Structure 1
Amino acid sequence: MYKLLIVDDEPIIRRGIKTLAILSEIGIDEIFEAGNADKCLETVDKEHIDIIMLDINMPNTDGLTLAKILKEKNKKIAIIMITGYDYFEYMQTAIRIGVDDYLLKPVNKTDIELVLRRIIDKIKTNIVKDKLMELHSEYENISYDNSSFKAVKEYMKKNIFDSKLSLGLMAEELGFNSSYLSGIIKQIYGIPFQEYVGIKRMEQAKILCLSTDMKNYEIAEKIGYDDVNYFTNKFKKTFGITPKQFKQGIKLNEN
């Protein structure tokens, strides 16, 4: 079960969020409220808060500034920004800070439940990933002393965005058996080869969407995909929106 903190300077908004959605059915068993940044930070220090719903317009300390402070204190806290602004520059700033999702005002029951379910799914996924990384931390620590592990890391770093990259080609060029190489990669990164490559490429795609005016096909080629349709579909599957929608700062609602 999870703890939710609702941060808004208007009590009626805080009460509305609490009453609109049946939060217990989503998996939230404790709900806290804060009307300003100081109360928010005080609550976070006292309670193990998992999710924060944060209004962008706050007195004294605005929501984006507060979100940055919260992420610096604990990057694992999931933050949902509540905003009346559907502008790309706000979304760019929020993404750079590490905001996990957002809601556009006026909010309704369906929107609240959908965004909270997305966030809880993300938290569960991150917990599994953290456990996997703990299991493989021993291998990560000794990789610097192991020539095979070092060779794999250097190869991946150099070729991660090469469209020709494949497990078979990598094994051939490094002189490894494919099964042996697959095992090394899983020991180093905690996940299989294709999954790791996909994650790194999608992370780079998001950066390019934010920081350049490159077209979709240019981004696809830059990160190692020859097929722009494959890239677009993979981006949408990963982030829930298309690259175009991401650039525009428009969240695609789930059906």
Structure 2
Amino acid sequence: MNDKWRVLIADDEPWIREGIRDAVSWERYYMEVSAEAENGEEAFELALQHSIDLLIVDLNMPIVNGLNLMKKLRQALPRCRFVIVTGYDQFSYAQEAIRLQVDDYLLKPVEPGQLDKVLRNISSSLASEKQKQREQILAERHIQHNLGLLKVHFFNNWIHGRVRDEDVHQQLECLQLPARMPDMLGVVGTGTLSLKSPTADRVKEKAERFFEEEPEKAVFSGDEHLIGICLWRVLTEAEQQAFRDEMRAELQTGVTFCFVNLAETGQTVPQAYQFCRKKAAQALDVSPVVARAREYMQKHFAERSFSLKQTADALQVSPVYLSRMMKRELGVTFIQLLTEMRMQKAVHLLKTTALPIHDIAEQTGYDTQHYFSTVFKKTMGASPNQYRRMSTIERTGGKL
């Protein structure tokens, strides 16, 4: 009985209800009369109670008339079908019935043959609609089941420039992601610095777990030894550092990180990925001592008294040895790398905060604003104030 369409007959005259109920063979149309009502108020309650599929209703009923009943049910049971049975052959009723998407409009006394025809059509329509619903559910389940694979396929094509710009938003929407560019792209690199270096699958698993509560994200395998991360919000530096710390704590060694704020840099996803890919390759192609030195510098570069000797002492090597290794493997001196880290931090603060220049100087490890401004202009080609103005103009489309 549960797989049959549920029917409610609503008419204030018992002999009319009985006549409709006995006029046809309901089982022929996979239907059953679940309830009968003598007024509109009772009909509404019974309709909800039985979750009816079809209402056969008289327009002229006490308390709540047929039209008002259908209006209420259209809101409460939007898929419910309506058949009007009435003695009023008036055009105004027919107009209102059309607006309520009534399946048919029959005049009393109802002929069994006419009712048979109406029920046959409705039964066929309900079956077709149910089949479409089943197909839709199956399609959604299939997409959910394969969503991970579809994401990997799409993002691998995207980062390598194999997706047309005009198709990106539509494909993101199909993958249940925001139909706009991500705010941040990250790359975690895994290497072969030691036999204990983690596999890409293990790194991907840890990254997915870290961002498990992030509602809008994609974590995917990129090139060999690289894991890509796209986020639809900007991670704070504290969040980025927490990610690095947790990944290092769990994986111990052999990983490197690069995050790009796409909104800030103006890079496309493929450009940002290639930038991070290059950074990861450079980071992984170094000896353990240089890798550790760079990690230590990343944590302490904003300290005013930070020095090569402090780093060497922390790593328990001589400053001369560390300096020579960094120059040979990274192609830059300790001071050059330190300046690069400080300038990256300064650029971020200039673009994202209204902090005074002297505060930014302090937060990037410089003793005085003058010295900071001198180094910044030499490195970036503009003073901090000029750089901030240019960034504001670029961000606002020419409006200060």
Normalising to structure 2: TM-score of the pair? 0.34
1:134 is aligned, of 123, 133, 137, to 137
Deviations 1:55-108 (A, max 9, x none): 011112111111010111011111111123344332221121232222122101
Asked which structure has the greater CA Rg, the reply is 2
Give per-residue Cα distances to partners, 1:122-158, cap 9 Å, x unaligned. 111111222333344559x99xxx9438679xxxxxx
Q: Residue in 2 aligned with 1:148?
A: 167
Distance of 2:15 and 2:116 partners within structure 1: 19
Please show how residues 219-234 of structure 1 align to structure 2 within 5 Å.
Answer: none
The residue correspondences of 1:155-166 to structure 2 (distance < 5 A) are none
1:31 is displaced (CA, Å) by: 3.6
- Find the aligned partners of 2:24 and 2:117 in 1 and give their Cα distance: 10
Greater relative CO, 1 or 2 (CA 8 Å, sep 6+): 1
Question: Which residue of 2 is the match for residue 67 of structure 1?
Answer: 70
CA 1:147–1:81 in structure 2 vs 1: closer, same or farther (change >3 Å)? farther
- Residue by residue, what CA displacement relative to the aligned partner does 1:187-245 show, whole Å, maximum 9, x if unpaired? xxxxxxxxxxxxxxxxxxxxxxxxxxxxxxxxxxxxxxxxxxxxxxxxxxxxxxxxxxx
Question: 2:91 corresponds to which letter in structure 1?
Answer: F
Q: How does 1:199-238 map to 2 (within 5 A)?
A: none
Normalising by structure 1, we get a TM-score of 0.52
Structure 1 Cα separation of the partners of residues 8 and 26 of structure 2 = 12
Say if 1:151 and 1:49 are closer, same or farther in 2 by CA, change over 3 A.
Answer: closer
Structure 1 residues 134 and 103: alpha-carbon distance in aligned structure 2, compared to 1, 3 A threshold: same
Provide the rounded CA distance (Å) in 1 between the counterparts of 2:51 and 2:63.
25
Distance 1:136 1:66, change over 3 A: same
Verify: 1:96 aligned to 2:99, yes or no.
yes
Match of 2:318 in 1: none
Contact conserved, 2:58 with 2:66, CA < 8 A, in 1? yes
**Structure 1 match to 2:281:** none
Q: What residue in structure 2 maps to residue 113 of structure 1?
A: 116
Name the amino acid aligned to 1:32. A
Contact 2:14 2:38 (C-alpha < 8 Å) held by counterparts: yes
Equivalent-residue separation in structure 2 for 1:82 and 1:149 (angstroms): 52
Q: 2:82 aligns with which of 79, 84, 91?
A: 79
Q: Does 1:58 align with 2:58?
A: no
Cα distance in 1, alignment partners of residues 26 and 48 from structure 2:
23
Q: For residues 70 and 102 of structure 1, what CA distance do their matches in structure 2 show?
A: 17
TM superposition shift of 1:49: 1.4
Q: Tell me if the contact between 1:68 and 1:98 (Cα under 8 Å) persists in the aligned partners.
A: no
RMSD: 2.8
Give the Cα separation in 1 of the matches to 2:94 and 2:15.
26
- What's the secondary structure of 1:60's corresponding residue? coil
Which residue identity is paired with 1:133?
Answer: Q
Q: C-alpha separation between the residues in 2 aligned to 1:17 and 1:82?
A: 10
> Partner letter of residue 15 of structure 2?
I
Contact 2:83 2:103 in 1 (8 A): yes
Contact 2:58 2:86 in 1 (8 A): yes
Rounded to whole Å, the distance in 1 between the matches of 2:105 and 2:27 is 21
* Whole-angstrom distance in 1 between the partners of 2:91 and 2:27: 33
Corresponding residue of 1:164: none
Structure 1, unmatched stretches of 5+, are: 153-255
CA distance in 1 between partners of 2:68 and 2:168 (Å): 41
Where does residue 32 of structure 2 map in the other structure? Answer: 29
Moved over 6 A (4+): 149-152
Query: How many positions carry a matched residue from both structures?
Result: 149
Task: Determine the structure 2 residue equivalent to 1:47.
Answer: 50
Aligned-residue offset at 1:43: 1.1
Name the CA distance, whole Å, in 1 between partners of 2:129 and 2:28.
21
Do the aligned residues in 2 keep the contact of 1:21 with 1:113 (CA within 8 Å)?
yes
Partner of 1:125: 128
